[in-house]
Structure 1
Amino acid sequence: MADEASFVEEGVPPSQAPLVSVSFQRSVNRKQKYLEAEPRALGITQIGLSLFQIISSVVFLSNGLNTAQTDLTIIVASVLVVIAGTLTVAAQNLQLPMLRACLGMQIVAVGASVTNMIISLVKMNEIPYFCWHYYYDVNSTTYGDICHNIEGTISHFCSEFVLIHVALVTISITVAAYCCKVVNCCSPAPKMPVITVQAPPTQQ
């Protein structure tokens, strides 16, 4: 039986073809691996967490609780993550250009989320600029208590933001890994062995 196994050769008549032939072909269902990552759920999670980050930053910025420079950086980086989440959902059509765009934006989203995480860690221990006057003034107990409460609230929000960014980094890395499997940016497409068994010719 082992002697009969051979590779498919073109131009061989069916009567002389081996009973068992082995060929190597690319998997036609290779793109389906992207759907194993549940891209709709991950993309919607990215969009939702990023929108929460944007809304919170806008609220803090509009009330003067944070500096404009850091909040604008967080908002711009979060918008990039929203775009990455949108492409994650859109790439379910399994078109190769869309999958490549999704891979590129997920790499950008990792950098954006790490940047936001660093900013949130720095802001966690910051004292609001309008509280410096009351922070060490023992005579301004009322305003001092208000400033302490505001500082504690901002610190808790920043701690929450750090956890959100850790989740966003994890999601981006996961989606990027599945995109890499489909677009084969790191290695050539794997080939699967296909075994063809032919019925022996009927003897008359």
Structure 2
Amino acid sequence: MAAEGAAVEAGSGPDQSPLVSVTFQRDPARKQKYLESEPKALGITQIGLSVFQISVVSVFMARGLDHVSVEIPFIIASLLVIIAGSVAIAAQNLHLPTLKACLGMQIVACSASLFNMLLAVIKLEDHSFSCWYFNEINGTVHFPSLCRQLEDAYSHLCSESILVQAALVAISITLAAYCCKVVNCCSPAPKMPVITVQAPPAPAARTDAV
């Protein structure tokens, strides 16, 4: 009886590993969350809308209808959005440095889109064309119909530009939010519990002394 009690105590000592252990490990598939944002579609949308905006502004500049000092910053900001869209597409490889670059560029793109939106609002509120003429006979001012059509078209384009920039801001915020989840720059990486079950060791065969 004393020998059996000693054997039980030896089997339950601290050197024996537990049968069930719970550990917390980082989710290896957390990078896949970035793909849930459809980065290819959103990146192509960023590039396409920005190219469209640059094309419209370039046409107005070529016709002398816009001030170069105002439109050059607009074009530069749009180019930053194009770069951000390209990085978002490249980040589909889920390479951590590329994801960090995507996060930084999306923050820059959001700021650039807000800047362009502000410029579009200013242009919408303060636009005029010198296409009127003064009639010296009866002292009246006349606005040709072409000038009015041009002013209406310009107002519509400025309004459209505001909507486009608002869409670009929303896209940048969406991509930045998903990058944040993967990069974990705002909070520590979430950990998931892992339960390990170990089979008990087989009892040793007992041999009776003859």
Does 2:21 correspond to 1:44?
Answer: no
* Alignment coverage as a number of residue pairs: 188
Q: 1:128 deviation in Å?
A: 3.0
Deviations 1:37-57 (A, max 9, x none): 110011000000000000011
> Which residue of 1 is the match for residue 102 of structure 2?
102
> Which residue of 2 is the match for residue 55 of structure 1?
55
> How far apart are the structure 1 equivalents of 2:104 and 2:133?
48
Provide the aligned C-alpha RMSD in A.
Answer: 2.0
> Which residue of 2 is the match for residue 66 of structure 1?
66
> How far apart are the structure 2 equivalents of 1:107 and 1:33?
19
Q: Any idea what SS the aligned residue of 1:18 has?
A: coil
> Which residue of 2 is the match for residue 89 of structure 1?
89
Deviations 1:149-178 (A, max 9, x none): 111100001111111000000000010011
Q: 1:90 deviation in Å?
A: 0.4
Contact persistence 1:54–1:78 (CA under 8 A): yes
Q: Report matched runs for 1:93-172 at 5 Å.
A: 93-131=93-131, 133-134=132-133, 138=140, 140-141=142-143, 144-172=144-172
Divergent runs of 4+, >3 A: 133-141, 200-204
**Counting helix residues as a fraction of each chain, which structure ranks higher?**
1
Q: 1:199 to 1:168 in 2, by over 3 A?
A: same
Unaligned ranges ≥5, structure 1: 1-11
Q: Among all aligned residue pairs of Structure 1 and Structure 2, give the percentage whose two residues are the same amino acid.
A: 57
TM-score for the superposition, normalised by structure 1: 0.85
2:50 alignment partner AA = S
> How far apart are the structure 2 equivalents of 1:93 and 1:114?
29
1:153 alignment partner AA = A
Q: Which moved more, 1:180-189 or 1:86-95?
A: 180-189
Q: 1:55 to 1:161 in 2, by over 3 A?
A: same
Unaligned ranges ≥5, structure 2: 1-13, 206-210
> Which residue of 1 is the match for residue 187 of structure 2?
187
Q: 1:135 deviation in Å?
A: 9.0
Q: 1:27 deviation in Å?
A: 1.0
TM-score for the superposition, normalised by structure 2: 0.83
Contact persistence 1:66–1:128 (CA under 8 A): no
2:151 alignment partner AA = E
Deviations 1:122-151 (A, max 9, x none): 1113333433x449984544xx32211111
Q: Any idea what SS the aligned residue of 1:130 has?
A: coil
> How far apart are the structure 1 equivalents of 2:26 and 2:67?
54
Q: In terms of Rg, which structure is larger?
A: 2
